[in-house]
Chains A and B, each alone.
Chain A
Amino acid sequence: MIEIKKETENNYLNILVNGEADASSSIHLDKAIKEAMEEGHQRILIDCTNLNYISSAGLGVFMSYIEEISEKSIDFILFGLSEKVLKVFGILGLDQLLTIKENKEAAIASFREV
């Protein structure tokens, strides 16, 4: 089960992902990111503070946007990952292909200048 909330702040979009991103629920995560991309956001934060579990289906959603993030020079930053969830990103090295910060402050601080 997954619950996704979107908050538009001053100059960025914050997507909160709560619960579990597994084979059945990750489609909702994908939909939220797809919409954010289509809306043309240049700064997207993914708040994973309450993401308790992620399987290949959830990892695959993030993986599928790596190229687009790079092509469009989007600031796409995940933060607040628990140790166990972060370790799952690390199994295949996706933690090196995505930008992951410890908390929201660090994520915001890493926005590139416009």
Chain B
Amino acid sequence: MRHSVKYSFDIPSSKNKLRLMRKFVTDVLKVHNVSDIEINMMVLAVDEVCANIIIHGHPTDDVSEVKLAISLQKGGVWFEIIDQGNAFDIVSYQEPEIEDLVKNKNKGGIGIMLVKKIMDDIQFKSTSSQNTLTLYKKVEFTT
């Protein structure tokens, strides 16, 4: 049987409460002795996708639930983010070039780039009722 540890958290539907989610992810990974640098990278990736869901996925409905599940299995960590808002498939999303963003003095457009650079695998699945985004990061941890 595979050994795994699971945690779950309800993401608040307001971007000024994202720090609560960041604290949750940080606390979970600290328990398993993941390094501070790695923790910050994973917190950042989850923060980016949650901010996207809050800002773009739920334009009118702020009561929708966004759920985060973290599961640690041999060799890596899985983050599963489930929401019921507008589907946004970050896997097939084509990111802009950073040089163009700089030239155009853009402030946005780099969140998804960060997620793709940080994570080792990303999968997106959308059904009529919900969207599931799975992020995977290879990392050392203790059980």
Contacts and interface: CB of A to CB of B under 8 A. Distances in A.
B103 A67 contact: yes
A74 interface: no
Nearest to B103: A67
A24 B102 contact: no
Interface stretch (A6-14, A43-51, A53-61): A53-61
Interface of B: 15-16, 18-19, 22, 36-37, 40-41, 43-44, 47-48, 51, 54-55, 98, 101-103, 105-111, 113-114, 117-118
B55 A88 contact: no
A59 B40 contact: no
Interface string A33-45: 0000000000000
B79 to A, nearest CB: 16
A55 B44 contact: yes
A23 B107 CA distance: 11
Contact of A55 (B55, B111, B113): B111
